Structure formats: structure tokens, C-alpha cells
């Protein structure tokens, strides 16, 4: 009986008002995380599991020497973020992103991709 | 009497949960790009707004003949500030002896005060200090499932992801370890009921875990099915060794090793582990441990998912890129 009271109380409290927001995880990237692409991509596109706060989310792409190869400010819409790239030569590139989901949860991450099969 | 106090406690626990509804939010255990899931047998290295509801364990005791034990636990964790948190939890146990005799009831109420010492994102390192208090006399003493005395356990927790290894380490970077070590001080030295000394105990545990979400988003996206990409295979270990005031008792280390897996979702996680006793004193055969764990900071980001104090009402600082 007492267990039932406890569980019922907590379940009612827990599920009575669940908001549809959470941390934004990287769901998909183009180029794929860790992939090797034969030809240089023109942009990096990231898709997240939650909608993003555009003013506080960002992405940058750097080459093996740490030099920026993206074209600046990312375009952010809904749960996606994309940034144009300069002309890339064969090599390894790192994508670093920061995301703020619409309920102010912050996440971050980075990954590499390789151009030209090197 | 016992029934009345247990009902009151159940209501109190629910009311505490409801009352903590007016503060500010950030995260459960994110450290840089690393997410440490809530572990089942040990504790993760972060203060957080979360709830285990329930944790269910089944095992056979080390008695001869072995008794069957069911444990159902509930734990609620709440941040007071960004770095300071409290937890409150309890366990209901049912131990069935082969001859038909059954003990059932609550254990003592357990609270934990925790302080986040460090979250180092680039090195995926988290350090945490805690004080666990098992409140004597709050459980089913007459059933033999709770002690009359309290126990204080200062505990140190850590978590370390291997994502800061060079890229050449590849898939190995998705591994992480967590651990905890605590020293239990009972508030009494001698149990007059059983005529035995009450030992001071070193309680320690660890986990090694492999994060498929981390592999997918940080190292290489193999385009596995979505279900696979949410899994964190894990092996936990929890042990305790009497180290002082143990005259006349066995000094044997007891504990379990628990291989299992955790599925991590957006608002909750589900974990299941086998429970393997390390020796006969720790149990008999293979047991089971399962848990549903709720991320309150994600479920209720504007209410109970926030710290009670110190949360900023200002917008976050704009990232500079």
C-alpha cells in the first residue's frame, strides 16, 4: 500500500507536465562524422535532435594547422546548422560545434572528416 | 506504527519532489562532449536533477540454503546550486527464506549531499565529493532490514572519458571510466542486539563504459541502426571491505561485478545488468538489476529541472566564433 502511494505520487508529479525540450545531440552530419570524401564538400551541415537557439549556437571548421576554412557565420534553422566552406584541398578537417537548445541546455562536440582519401 | 511512519515518509518524499519547483536549469552529466549516464550499482560523478524510478534488483543471498531477495529502490536527486546537490532515496526489500519465512520492509532512509569539484570539458574529467547518510531507525528495524544506528560515508567520485586521446586512437576514445571510494562510519561501535562489533567499512566501486552515442557523434558514424547508437555497454563493480572495529567478524571483501547495457534516450534511460557475486559471502548465482532513470532537467527545464539557487535569469553569453 505504502509503495503504491509513493509510486503513484511520484508518477503523477513526474508526468503531469513534461515539456518537449532537452539537450541537443548531434543526430547526423554531412560529411559524415569520421568519413573520407573523394571530393571537397561545399558546406558542412549538422542536424540535431532538438531545435536550436540561433544566436547562441555555432560551428567552425579548421584544417590540420588550425586555420579556419569555413565562410563565417552559420545558417541555423530549426534543428539544423550549416556553414559554407572555402575551397578545400586534400587533408583532414575538424568541425567544432556548440549548440544551445531552445530551453537553454548547452552541448558541444567536434569531429573530423578527410578530403581526398588521404 | 511502522505502517504509519512509512506512509508519512512516502508522502514526504513526494512533497519534497513537488516543492522543488522554482529555479534554473542546465545539465545532467555532460562534461564537454562526454555524457556520463547514470550508473545502476554505483553513482555517476555529477550533481544533477534526476530520478531513478525504480531500480529493481533480484538476487539470491549467500546463506545456506540461499534466500531469494527482491529490492525496489527510488532515488531523487536535486541541485541546490549549479555545483551543490542533494539526493534522497529508500529501498523496499523482500527476502524469502526457503522454509517459507519472509522478511519485508523499508531500509533506512538515505540522503546524500554532493559538491561538484570539477568539470573539465576538454579532458572529459569530472570530480565530485559527497556525504552519504544512512539515517538509523527510519526503516523496518523489527524485520531486520534496517539498523538502529546511522552511518556516515564521505565519498569521492570521479569520471574520465578517453576522448582527449589523439585521433589515431580511433574507436578507443569512446571508452570512459567512473569510480567512487567512501569510508563508512557507523554512529555506534557495538550492536547490543546481536552482541557484535559494527565495523567501519571501505566502500568502493567503478565502471568501464563504451559510449555508442560518442562513437557516432565524435569519432565515426558507422550508420548503425538508431537503437544501437543509443547504447552504452557497461561493466560495473561494487565492493566493500571491513577495515576497522571488526573484532570477531569476517574481514572478507564482498560485492558484485555487473555486466550490462544502458539505453540512453532524450528524457530517460533504461539500464539492465547481470549481478555476479565476487564470492559466496556476496550471494549465490547470477542476479539481475534493472533501472528506469528520468532526466528531470530535460523533462522540466523551466521548473524542477533547475537548481534551487544561483541560477541565472540572464540569457547565456553568446558564443564567440
User: Does any CB of chain A come closer than 8 Å to the CB of residue B310?
Assistant: no
CA distance A78 to chain B (A): 17
Q: Which residues of A touch B33 (CB under 8 A)?
A: 107-110
Contact A93, A112 (CB under 8 A): yes
Q: What is the pLDDT of residues B142-160, one digit of tens each?
A: 888 889 999 999 999 999 9
pLDDT score of B53:
86
> Residue A3's closest chain B neighbor by CA?
B10
What pTM value is reported for the model?
A: 0.84
What is the reported pLDDT for B311? 59
- Please tell me the number of Cα atoms within 13 Å of B86 on its side-chain side: 11
Q: Give A71's DSSP letter.
A: -
Portion of chain B with pLDDT greater than 90, in percent = 65
Provide mean pLDDT across the span B192-215: 93
Does residue A22 have a pLDDT over 80? no
Structure confidence by residue, pLDDT tens digits, B59-108: 998 888 889 999 999 999 999 998 999 999 999 999 998 887 888 999 99
Cα gap B161→B264, rounded to integer Å: 17
Does a structural domain hold residue B14?
yes
Nearest to B217 among A11, A60, A109 (CB): A109
Assess whether the previous peptide bond of B92 is cis (omega < 30° from 0): no
B227 has a chain A CB within 8 A of its CB: no
Which cell numbers in the block locate residue A43?
558546406
Peptide bond connecting B262 to the previous residue in cis, omega within 30 degrees of 0:
no
Local confidence band at A117 (pLDDT 50, 70, 90 cut-offs)? low
**Whole-number pLDDT of residue B50:** 87
Domain contains B102? yes
Listed in sequence order, the residues at least 6 apart from A17 whose beta carbon sits closer than 8 Å to its beta carbon are B300, B303
More confident residue, B317 or A21: A21
pLDDT of residue A102 exceeding 80, the answer is no
Give the closest residue to B176 by CA, choosing from B218, B148, B146. B218
Is B271 domain-assigned? yes
Q: How far apart are the first and last CA of chain A?
A: 66
CA angle A26, B232, A61 (to 5 degrees): 25
Is residue B269 domain-resident? yes
Q: What average pLDDT does this structure show over A97-105?
A: 82
The pLDDT-based confidence of A25 (bands split at 50, 70, 90) is: confident
Domain assignment of residue B100, given as a range: 2-299
The per-residue pLDDT for A50 is: 85
User: Can you tell me the mean pLDDT for A92-115?
Assistant: 89
What contacts B275, CB < 8 A, 6 or more positions away? B41, B57, B59, B256, B258, B283, B286, B287, B288, B289
- Mean pLDDT across A96-102: 87
Query: Is B306 within the bounds of a domain?
Result: no
CATH of domain A19-115: 2.60.40.1220
Cell numbers at A95, concatenated: 568541425
Of B121, B216, B315, the CB nearest to A33: B216
Q: What average pLDDT does chain B have? A: 86
Domain chopping of chain A, boundaries: 19-115
ipTM: 0.81
Residue B46 sits at the vertex; the CA angle it makes with B43 and B47, to the nearest 5 degrees, is 105
Give the residues across from B273 on adjacent strands.
B260, B289
What does R_g of chain A's alpha carbons equal in angstroms? 19
CB pairs under 8 A between A and B: 131
Look at chain B and report how many structural domains it folds into: 1
- A25 to chain B, minimum CA–CA distance in Å? 8
Beta bridge partners of B258: B236
CB pair distance less than 8 Å for B17 and A10: yes
Q: Is B260 contained in some domain?
A: yes
Q: Which residue has the higher pLDDT, B16 or A108?
A: A108
Looking up residue B76, the CATH number of its domain turns out to be 2.40.160.40
How far is residue B173 from each of residues B160, B209, B214, measured CA to CA in Å?
Answer: 11, 11, 9
Amino acid at each position: 500500500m505504502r509503495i503504491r502511494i509513493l509510486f503513484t505520487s511520484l508518477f503523477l508529479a513526474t508526468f503531469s507536465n513534461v515539456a518537449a525540450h532537452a539537450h541537443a545531440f548531434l543526430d547526423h552530419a554531412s560529411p559524415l562524422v569520421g568519413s573520407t570524401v573523394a571530393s571537397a564538400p561545399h558546406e558542412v551541415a549538422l542536424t540535431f535532435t532538438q531545435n536550436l537557439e540561433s544566436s547562441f549556437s555555432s560551428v567552425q571548421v579548421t584544417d590540420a594547422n588550425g586555420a579556419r576554412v569555413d565562410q563565417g557565420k552559420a545558417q541555423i534553422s530549426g534543428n539544423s546548422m550549416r556553414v559554407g566552406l572555402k575551397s578545400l584541398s586534400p587533408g583532414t578537417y575538424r568541425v567544432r560545434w556548440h549548440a544551445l537548445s531552445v530551453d537553454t541546455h548547452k552541448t558541444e562536440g567536434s569531429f573530423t572528416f578527410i578530403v581526398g582519401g588521404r | 506504527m511502522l505502517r504509519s511512519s512509512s506512509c508519512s515518509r512516502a508522502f514526504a518524499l513526494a512533497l519534497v519532489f513537488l516543492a522543488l519547483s522554482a529555479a534554473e536549469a542546465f545539465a545532467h552529466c555532460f562534461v564537454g562532449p562526454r555524457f556520463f549516464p547514470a550508473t545502476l550499482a554505483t553513482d555517476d560523478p555529477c550533481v544533477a536533477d534526476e530520478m531513478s524510478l525504480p531500480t529493481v534488483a533480484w538476487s539470491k543471498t549467500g546463506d545456506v540454503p540461499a534466500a531469494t531477495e527482491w529490492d525496489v529502490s527510488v532515488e531523487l536527486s536535486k541541485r541546490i546550486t549549479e555545483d551543490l546537490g542533494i539526493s534522497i532515496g529508500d529501498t523496499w526489500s523482500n527476502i524469502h527464506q526457503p522454509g517459507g519465512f519472509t522478511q519485508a520492509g523499508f531500509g533506512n532512509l538515505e540522503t546524500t549531499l554532493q559538491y561538484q569539484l570539477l568539470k573539465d570539458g576538454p579532458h572529459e574529467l569530472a570530480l565530485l565529493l559527497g556525504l552519504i547518510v544512512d539515517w538509523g531507525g527510519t526503516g523496518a528495524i523489527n524485520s531486520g532490514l534496517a539498523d538502529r544506528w546511522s552511518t556516515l560515508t564521505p565519498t569521492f567520485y570521479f569520471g574520465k572519458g578517453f576522448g582527449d586521446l589523439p585521433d589515431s586512437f580511433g574507436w578507443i576514445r569512446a571508452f570512459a571510466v567512473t569510480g567512487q571510494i567512501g569510508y563508512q562510519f557507523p554512529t555506534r561501535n557495538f550492536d547490543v542486539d546481536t552482541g557484535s562489533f559494527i565495523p567501519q567499512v571501505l566502500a568502493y566501486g567503478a565502471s568501464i563504459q563504451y559510449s555508442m552515442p560518442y562513437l557516432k557523434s565524435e569519432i565515426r558514424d558507422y550508420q548503425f541502426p538508431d537503437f544501437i547508437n543509443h547504447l552504452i555497454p557497461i561493466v560495473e563493480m561494487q565492493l566493500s571491505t571491513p577495515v576497522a572495529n571488526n573484532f570477531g567478524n569476517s574481514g572478507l571483501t564482498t560485492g558484485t561485478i555487473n555486466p550490462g547495457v544502458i539505453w540512453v534516450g532524450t528524457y530517460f534511460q533504461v539500464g539492465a545488468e547481470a549481478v555476479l557475486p565476487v564470492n559466496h559471502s556476496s550471494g549465490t548465482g547470477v542476479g539481475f538489476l534493472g533501472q528506469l532513470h528520468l532526466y528531470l532537467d530535460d523533462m522540466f527545464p523551466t521548473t524542477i529541472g533547475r537548481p534551487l539557487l544561483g541560477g541565472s535569469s540572464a540569457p547565456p553569453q553568446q558564443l564567440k566564433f
